[in-house]
Amino acid sequence: MTRFGKFLDKTLQDLAYEPIWNVICESDIDPHDIDIAFVGNAYAGMITGQESIRGQVVLREAGISKIPIINVENACASGSTAFYLAHRAVASGQVELALAVGVEKLFCDDTGKSLKALATSSDQEIEGKMGILFAGIYAMRVRSHMEKYGLTREQLAKVAVKNHDHGALNPHAQYRNRVTVEEVLESRMIADPITLLMTCPLGDGGAALLVGTKEMAKRMGKRPIRVGSTVLGSFGFTRKDEPSIVARVSKKAYQEAGVTPREIQVAEVHDAVAPVELFLYEELGFCGPGESGRMIDERTTWLGGRLPVNTSGGLTSKGHPAGATGIAQLAEIVWQMRGEAGDRQINPAPHVGLVENGGGNVAGETAVVALHILLA
């Protein structure tokens, strides 16, 4: 992956070129061995004007042609959707090697345009007409959880502190500064109780992964990581007494991979605002309902804890170039499993890792959730 950040001088093509050629060179393959490519991007149409054939343009620049190229969009889960399809193409036996790319350019000369693009990941007929933005939707979910289980503002802030601590160790992170609980709570209020330092920044970036058959993976230069499961789910008009979309999708992923939540040793989750990470602990089964506050207090999910979460810095600190995020989350787990995570390496290297990547809003629910379990 590229470092995430603000790169006004880089095009969408530039942002994709670097990770595509990094992964090709690192894997020691001939680029002609790639059978199919899936390119995840959410907003380039509105930011760069290349509404259509984004992946073809990006791969033309990278010198990749002739093979099937498929443009995939699923809001902030576009990258992991590209990976889902790449994995499916290989697992079906129809191809031996698939390339999954996630790329996003959000910074441009007009921040209003960037924010407008992000808002199109809500249903224009429902959220759009109400004028409610992501921060507002997240704030309502956080408040409801605080009232139900007594989560404190300090606990919410601690997630941001942890992810900034982790991001400070990650050369790919957009923000590499540490913050304190006080600084997080005293930063500008965005949508009560979410403050500025709890939110992820706008970002530009790209990431790429190769998915191959067992035989293909053995030929590559790097230790291959096995895909235990890759599951995608959608909003479901969920009633209060039904499991959330994340709980529903993760249950399926655990079954498919044949592991239990307690076996997960490292996870990257979609902390578009830091407090959401707490419900994710509960919905992913890392702890019981209402126990996530204690989990962050006890530093269980900090580097050095039993189950480090968002060792990359998460969206909050590493940054969130929407279409790139899912692939970048997977990259972090791969690096951790291979013992290549540098200053933020978990010791010993984990054997079971999870990625949760969410995107969009439909009728008050997250539109898309992608769950991936990787096995060493």
Note the residues at the interface with a copy of itself (CB under 8 A). Answer: 13, 42-43, 45-46, 48-54, 56-57, 59-61, 65-75, 81, 84-85, 88-89, 91-94, 117, 120-125, 128, 231-237, 248, 359-360, 362-363, 367-368
User: Which C-beta is closer to a copy of itself: that of 91 or that of 168?
Assistant: 91
**Known catalytic residue at 76:** yes
Say whether the peptide bond before residue 350 is cis (omega within 30 degrees of 0): no
Min dist. Cβ of residue 10 to a copy of itself (A): 14
Catalytic site residue from 166, 172, 320, 372 = 320
d(CA 226, CA 236): 30
d(CA 51, CA 71): 11
* Tokens read off for 251: 């249950």
User: Which C-beta is closer to a copy of itself: that of 72 or that of 197?
Assistant: 72
User: Which C-beta is closer to a copy of itself: that of 142 or that of 370?
Assistant: 370
With CA atoms as reference, report the closest residue to 69 among 38, 101, 102, 42.
Answer: 38
Backbone φ and ψ of 71, nearest 5°: -85, 130
Close Cβ partners of 158 (under 8 Å, ≥ 6 residues apart): 181, 296, 297
d(CA 50, CA 43): 9
Helix (H/G/I), strand (E/B), else coil: 213: coil
Min dist. Cβ of residue 341 to a copy of itself (A): 30
Min dist. Cβ of residue 49 to a copy of itself (A): 6
DSSP state letters, 18-49? HHHHHHHHHHT--GGG--EEEEE-SSHHHHTS
Min dist. Cβ of residue 86 to a copy of itself (A): 12
- Do 184 and 327 meet the contact criterion of CB atoms below 8 Å apart? no
With CA atoms as reference, report the closest residue to 106 among 115, 94, 97, 98.
Answer: 115
Close Cβ partners of 46 (under 8 Å, ≥ 6 residues apart): 113, 116, 117, 120
User: Which C-beta is closer to a copy of itself: that of 146 or that of 368?
Assistant: 368
Min dist. Cβ of residue 242 to a copy of itself (A): 10
Q: Which amino acid is at 6?
A: K
Min dist. Cβ of residue 241 to a copy of itself (A): 16
User: Which C-beta is closer to a copy of itself: that of 116 or that of 294?
Assistant: 116
**Known catalytic residue at 32:** no
User: Which C-beta is closer to a copy of itself: that of 48 or that of 187?
Assistant: 48
Helix (H/G/I), strand (E/B), else coil: 374: strand
Catalytic site residue from 76, 87, 166, 172 = 76
Q: Which residues are catalytic?
A: 76, 320
